[in-house]
Amino acid sequence: MNLIVHDLENLTFNKIFNFNDRENYIISDNGSIKSCTGCFGCWIKTPGTCVIKDGYENTGRLFSKADNVLIFSRCYYGGYSPFVKNVLDRSISYLLPFFKIKNNETHHKQRYKNKTRLYVYFYGEQVTQDEMETARNLVRANGINFNVAEYKVVFTDTAEQAGREVAAQWK
Amino acid sequence: MEISIINGSPKPGHSTSGYIIDLIVPRISEGNILEIYNISRGNLQEGQFVKIQNCDVLVLAFPLYVDSIPSHMLRFMAELEERGFASKNTMVYCIINNGFFEGKQNRIATMQVKNWCKRTGLVWGQAIGAGAGEMIPMLKDIPMGHGPNKSIFNVLECFSANIMGKKAGEDIYFSPDWPRWLWKIQASFCVWYPRARANKLTKRDLYAAGK
Ligand SMILES: Cc1cc2nc3c(=O)[nH]c(=O)nc-3n(C[C@H](O)[C@H](O)[C@H](O)COP(=O)(O)O)c2cc1C
């Protein structure tokens, strides 16, 4: 399965991309997402599931089912948009609270056995060189923390261009 | 100077961001007007925004989430960018803390804040990034400058002096002066297992798949 997280209007998204519902699970903004409150309930109260019941509580488990995670996000200061970041913040139950040391840095142990691939498409017209540099560093760090098999970062001016980029690869 | 301090931790009670803010406040109070805003306790009021938009020094304190700025903080910063600041001389400092041991894992969030500063047209001051964040408030009974509180003392002295002089400084990343292997064991035995037990969960339960 492909897990797709995007911050576009659903109508716009469906016009640009044609991902079917059978092989793809799409997470989009329905206006109801709450931000993480830092309670760690997803680790020590209801392990693997966020305690905030707003329809976005299962994203950690969805990561465990994904062969590929595709993210389409406007670039904000060299990172994800608030909605996409909100989804990621609510997904830390994908990992365990326990620590491991990898390349002499602390990271979390895995809750699940799967390894996904991470493809991030940042769109936005005036993304600066510094922001691109930050975004590349960010996705690399996410890739290490989420223990992905492979990651890729793509920048496009518009979401439509991102659509053309993925059309060939992901149809 | 008017100094606006943003506490970007979403925790309702004690947080490491709040704890570090409390350590900084007495060091930067003399001759200055300080206001602390808790952005996760509901939206700020118009008057509060106006004060922030007119401050001389802005201190952003927040935890690291998924290697970067937490989403609620990002929303707040985007709103500030949109509103704009009265003066282009407002100087921005940040205090980032993270759960992993190495404070340098906060460097990407620092890069983001620097990018935000450029877009918002403000002057960059300095970032400090503290590792093993959840441990830091647990060391409150050990005198500052001693044992595991040695580095944090030096960093806060230097950081506060820069704020007082409205000077830029090199970004500093640090961790408690404590062995990492011991911290790692303590995290499981002193934090996660007891908290799980308090919720009537066993160690094994913590490894369950999500529902
Ligand atoms: C959703 C979420 C994501 C986190 N991601 C990271 C991370 O990527 N790296 C890290 O070192 N710590 C991470 N942490 C740990 C926090 O940075 C750490 O608990 C911090 O001390 C909290 O600070 P506060 O008390 O000021 O809120 C994360 C915590 C949460 C709740």
Give the Cα separation of B86 and A158 in Å (integer).
Answer: 32
A2-169 CATH choice from 3.30.830.10, 3.40.50.360, 3.40.50.300, 3.30.70.330: 3.40.50.360
Q: Name the CA radius of gyration of chain A, rounded.
A: 16
Under 8 Å between Cβ of B25 and B50: no
User: Which pLDDT does position B11 carry in this prediction?
Assistant: 96
Per-residue pLDDT of A145-170, as tens digits, reads: 999 999 999 999 999 999 998 887 86
For A:90-129, CB contacts with B below 8 A are 91-93, 96-99, 101, 105-107, 111-112, 128
pLDDT of residue B41: 81
CB contact under 8 A, B199 and A45: yes
Residue whose CA lies nearest to ligand 1 atom number 12: B99
* Contact call for residues A2 and A170 (beta carbons, < 8 A): yes
Question: Across-strand partners of A69?
Answer: A3, A118
In this prediction, residue A171 carries a pLDDT of: 58
Is the minimum CB–CB distance between A43 and chain B shorter than 8 Å? yes
Nearest CB to A96 within list B66, B72, B206: B206
Expressed in angstroms and rounded, the spacing between residue B108 Cα and the centre of ligand 1 is 14
How far lies A133's CA from each of A83, A130, B99, in Å? 21, 5, 24
Domain annotation for chain B: domains and CATH numbers = 2-178 (3.40.50.360), 179-211 (no CATH)
Q: What is the pLDDT of residues B88-123, one digit of tens each?
A: 899 999 999 999 999 999 999 999 999 999 999 999
Residues 6+ apart with CB under 8 A from B35: B2, B3, B4, B5, B48, B51, B52, B55
Kind of pairing between the strands at B2-7 and B33-38: parallel
Write out chain A residues lying below 8 Å of B175, CB-based. none
Q: φ, ψ for residue A11 (rounded to 5)?
A: -60, -45
* B175 CB within 6 A, ligand 1: no
Ligand 1 contacts CB of residue B16 (under 6 A): yes
Q: Decide: pTM greater than 0.95.
A: yes
Collect all residues of chain A within an 8 Å Cβ-Cβ radius of residue B112: 77-79, 134, 138
Task: Quote the minimal CA–CA distance from B31 to chain A in Å.
Answer: 34
Give contacts of B199 with chain A, Cβ < 8 Å.
44-45
Phi, psi of B184 (to 5 degrees): -65, -40
- Digits of tens for pLDDT over chain A (171 positions)? 999 999 999 999 999 998 888 899 999 999 999 999 999 999 999 999 999 999 999 999 999 999 999 999 999 999 999 999 999 999 999 999 999 999 999 999 999 999 999 999 999 999 999 999 999 999 999 999 999 999 999 999 999 999 998 887 865
Tell me the chain B residues in contact with residue A76 when contact means C-beta distances shorter than 8 Å: 74, 78
